[in-house]
Amino acid sequence: MKRAFLILMVLALFAGMLPGCAPAAQPTKAPDQPVKIDFWFAMSGKTGEVVQTMVKRFNESQNEVFVTATFQGSYDDEINKLKAGLQSKNVPAVVQIYDLGTRLLTDLKVITPMQDFIDKEKFDISDIEKNILNYYTVDGKLQSMPFNSSNPVLYYNKDMFKAANLDPEKPPRTWAEVAEYSRKLTKKDASGKTVQYGNSFAFYGWFFEQWMAVSGQYYTNNENGRKARATEATFNNDRGVALLEWWKSMIDEGISQNLGRSTTDTKKAFDAGTVAMTLDSTAALRDRVDAAAGKFELGVGFLPRQNEEDYGKAGTIIGGASLWILNARPQAEQDAAWKFVKFMVAAEQQAFWHINTGYYPVHAKGYNHPDDVAWREKYPQFQVAIDQLHMAPTNNVTAGGLIGVFPEARQTVEKAIEAYMTGTTPTAKQALDEAARSITQSIQDYNDTVK
Amino acid sequence: MSKPTHLRKTAGRVLLYLLLTVAAIIMIYPLYNGVVTSFLSPSNVDTYPPKLFPIEFYVQNYADALQQAPLVRFVMNSFIQSSGVMMAQLVMASLAAFAFAFLPFKGKQLVFLVFLSTMMIPWESTIIPNYLFIQGIQWDDTYMGLIAPFMASAFATFLIRQSFMSLPRDLYDAATIDGCSNLRYLVTIAVPLARPALGTLAVYSFLQTYNQYLWPLLITNKVEMRTVQIGITMLRDAEREMWAVIMAGVVLVMIPTLVLFFIANRQLIRGLTAGALKG
């Protein structure tokens, strides 16, 4: 018995040492074999399935390139894995990286700019949305190919609007209107407990960035870091203060519910019918449509602006992610990757992508695709984000901030907003000043490392 | 026994059971809620206020979860990885702890302190060197790559050493005089007596490994080599959380650990109580 235990322990040790499978040798490419490339992406759940479907379609559409798509965790996990892999050149040929990583990936000098492939082939990109290209153009070159793009929209419950004698076809357009509508939409029960809030907006740094952009404000100096490298955060101005004060006044009045930083929670409250309005990315649209089906009528409106005049002057920034080709891979793989990228942004694929996710097509012809037209006839809500995109002028405000430390900056802003909303920081000005100071410091530290 | 003390005893017992019941409910509720949610159809997930009792039995969630991530394969991978780490830690920790507990050698205290001090180095700070090393010897996408960095642990050694230290020194001396070799003493006397500590370590290291996320994500590129926690994130959509599907995945992933717990439970309780009833 004791001997058996010993033998078992030794066996166990050796069993653990057996490799699961031998490391695959690099396949040598025969001339008629397809080029095999890896593609890393960060979309999970249903959206991840849609990506896999598109990859499968690509592989079936031709026999020169075979793409293996692998999910690599959240955007943050994926970029960390990429950074770790770069040291040993263990990277894929194509990778999907979120908007915030644009400056960083460009500075790391590990990618081949998309512009090089476009120029070599004289590839026509006139049909790719201008505003989206604008975001991913750094130092005068298109660095990556936009793939999934979204902007924030106002989701509202039409049934609640009707019950509160508001026109369900007219969502609020300005901050004052949001407050006014919310007041009417807030309901209390007999004991004075609020059972329905007018709105709930997550303290999400992206919303703050968007609100600054629609107010015509730069996030950083040097025109968002687009004219020259950004050195200072500049959002701690009157517009930023006005935004936070308006937001807090609604929470203090009890017509806006504070559900913290996560849009997951505001979405859930909206679906459950305890708040009448919420903000979220258009990418959440398909799911809102499904969640509301049979329960209430879903309305979608523009991101509310401070005043009506702002609609003519500025617009939203694009969000989402783009596809990058890495220069650590052999040229043949990079060329194969380029074929794949072209396929992914083509009109037909982008229409499919739009319908199944809510991310709008980056290819203008995607809207005119019969499937997409039919879809929007059925769900006119999908039109709103596209209109909002086309409304936005193409300039350095809507191009969005370009800094190497954006993920960190966004969190700093979220912390500042939360501290002000919960009363830890007494004034909005102080909250934003502190956040701006901390971000400026990070930007300068980052700039020192890339010089 | 007089009546008042009897009454007081009963009252005390009732109170104790009441407290235990409350504690049990608090412990079980999240699990219960997860299981109930995993059987809700999308239209009922967001019902407010949430229902305490299941109102439907919608198994499509499980099919969806299995379709979005190859969970069965992941569970198997995690099981192999966790068992490997667990067994390696038991063996390594027993051997190292034996040296620290029983063998006299120069600088024992110092070596032990250096050993323990490694507990203060956060795993995150060594993850990149570990990654580059495992990558360098081409152990990425293998079970060995998943297991190797965790085979030895300072905490495990410390835990087992403490347990060995509590054994009477006379036992070791007597065995040695009778001609018992060190290895034999370890295997036939020390290990069986330290069973509670080994059991605790086994469960701890298994769960710790089962819950790993970053390391398996870094070291594996093939979907077939991935582990359960990555599987759960694969179900979590950035823009549209399907709670019922996620919960279905969590329930599936939880089953092996529950089975392990029920098997180990009897062993653990037996081990814990074996020497405890003296008075």
- Over residues B207-231, mean pLDDT: 91
Q: How far is A77 from chain B (nearest CA, A)?
A: 8
Distance CA B62, CA B87 (A): 32
Q: Do A74 and B238 touch (CB under 8 A)?
A: yes
Q: Which residues on chain A are in Cβ contact (under 8 Å) with B187?
A: 2, 5-6
Interface of A with B in 250-309 (CB under 8 A): 264, 267-268, 271-274, 281, 283-284, 286-287, 290-291, 293-295
Percentage of chain B surpassing pLDDT 70? 92
Spatial CA neighbour of B100 closest among B91, B114, B86, B111: B111
pLDDT of residue B142: 94
Residue B220, burial from CB neighbour count under 10 angstroms (0-12, 13-18, 19+): buried
**How much is the pTM?**
0.81
- Over residues B125-143, mean pLDDT: 90
Residue among A17, A45, A357 whose CB faces B242 most closely: A45
pLDDT of residue B47: 72
Q: Are B94 and B198 spatial neighbours (Cβ–Cβ below 8 Å)?
A: yes
Paired tokens of B181: 């070799």
**Higher-confidence position of A194 and B239:** A194
Distance CA A35, CA A43 (A): 24
Distance CA A272, CA A203 (A): 20
Distance CA B163, CA B159 (A): 7
Q: Do A357 and B85 touch (CB under 8 A)?
A: no
pLDDT of residue B239: 64
Q: Can you list the domains of chain B with their CATH numbers?
A: 3-62 (no CATH), 69-235 (1.10.3720.10)
What contacts A184, CB < 8 A, 6 or more positions away? Answer: A164, A165, A166, A198
Q: Which amino acid is at A321?
A: A
Q: Which residues on chain B are in Cβ contact (under 8 Å) with A278?
A: none
Q: How far apart are the first and last CA of chain B?
A: 21
Residue B272 pLDDT > 70, yes or no? no
B156-177 burial: b if 16+ Cβ within 10 Å, else e: bbbbbbebbeeeeeeebeebee
Distance CA A25, CA A406 (A): 38
B interface mutation test: which of A36, A46, A354 has the most B CBs within 10 A?
A: A46
Q: Are A299 and A161 spatial neighbours (Cβ–Cβ below 8 Å)?
A: yes
Residue B206 pLDDT > 70, yes or no? yes
Residue among A16, A291, A293 whose CB faces B84 most closely: A16
Please give the biggest Cα pair distance in chain A.
85
Tell me the Cα Rg of chain A.
Answer: 24
Q: Which residues on chain B are in Cβ contact (under 8 Å) with A90?
A: 135, 140, 221
Q: Which secondary structure element, helix H or strand E, spans residue A98, and what is its range?
A: strand A94-98
DSSP state of A385: H
Distance CA A376, CA B170 (A): 84
Percentage of chain A surpassing pLDDT 70? 93
- Over residues B62-68, mean pLDDT: 88
Average pLDDT over all residues of chain B: 87
Distance CA A234, CA A432 (A): 9
What secondary structure, in 3-state letters, does chain B show? CCHHHHHHHHHHHHHHHHHHHHHHHHHHHHHHHHHHHCCCCHHHHCCCCCCCCCCCCCCHHHHHHHHHCCHHHHHHHHHHHHHHHHHHHHHHHHHHHHHHHHCCCCCHHHHHHHHHHHHHCCHHHHHHHHHHHHHHCCCCCCHHHHHHHHCCCHHHHHHHHHHHHCCCHHHHHHHHHCCCCHHHHHHHHHHHHCHHHHHHHHHHHHHHHHCCCHHHHHHCCCHHHCCHHHHHHHHCCCCCCCHHHHHHHHHHHHHHHHHHHHHHHHHHHHHHHHCCCCC
Paired tokens of A360: 């709008």
Distance CA A438, CA A298 (A): 40
Please give the biggest Cα pair distance in chain B.
76
Residue B4 pLDDT > 90, yes or no? no
Q: How far is A56 from chain B (nearest CA, A)?
A: 15
Nearest CA in chain A to B213: A73
Distance CA A394, CA A317 (A): 10
Please give chain A's pLDDT, 451 residues, in tens. 455 555 555 555 444 444 443 444 444 445 578 999 999 999 988 888 999 999 999 999 999 999 999 999 889 889 989 988 888 788 999 999 999 999 999 999 999 999 999 999 999 999 998 889 999 999 889 999 999 999 999 999 999 999 999 999 999 999 999 999 999 999 999 888 999 999 999 999 999 999 999 999 999 999 999 999 999 999 999 999 999 999 999 999 999 999 999 888 899 899 889 999 999 999 888 888 888 888 899 999 999 999 999 998 889 998 889 999 999 999 999 999 999 999 999 999 999 999 888 898 999 898 889 999 999 999 888 899 889 999 999 999 999 999 999 989 999 999 999 999 999 999 999 999 999 999 999 999 999 988 7
DSSP state of A361: P
Percentage of chain B surpassing pLDDT 90? 49
pLDDT of residue B260: 79
Q: Can you list the domains of chain A with their CATH numbers?
A: 35-149+318-390 (3.40.190.10), 152-316+405-450 (3.40.190.10)
Q: Do A264 and B240 touch (CB under 8 A)?
A: no
Distance CA B141, CA B222 (A): 7
Q: How far is B10 from chain A (nearest CA, A)?
A: 41
> What is the tens place of the pLDDT at every residue in B240-261?
677 888 999 999 999 888 887 8
Q: Are A304 and A175 spatial neighbours (Cβ–Cβ below 8 Å)?
A: yes
As a 3-state breakdown, chain A gives helix, strand, coil percent values, each rounded to 5, of 50, 15, 30
Tell me, yes or no, if A227 comes closer than 8 A to chain B by beta carbon: no
Q: How far is A16 from chain B (nearest CA, A)?
A: 5
Question: Which ipTM score applies to this complex?
Answer: 0.74
The residue whose two tokens read 């407290």 is: B19
pLDDT of residue B277: 46
Q: Do A84 and B131 touch (CB under 8 A)?
A: yes
A193-219 burial: b if 16+ Cβ within 10 Å, else e: eeebbbbbbbbbbbbbbbbbbbbbbbb
Q: Are A278 and A266 spatial neighbours (Cβ–Cβ below 8 Å)?
A: yes
Nearest CA in chain A to B65: A45
Q: Which residues on chain A are in Cβ contact (under 8 Å) with B142?
A: 19-23
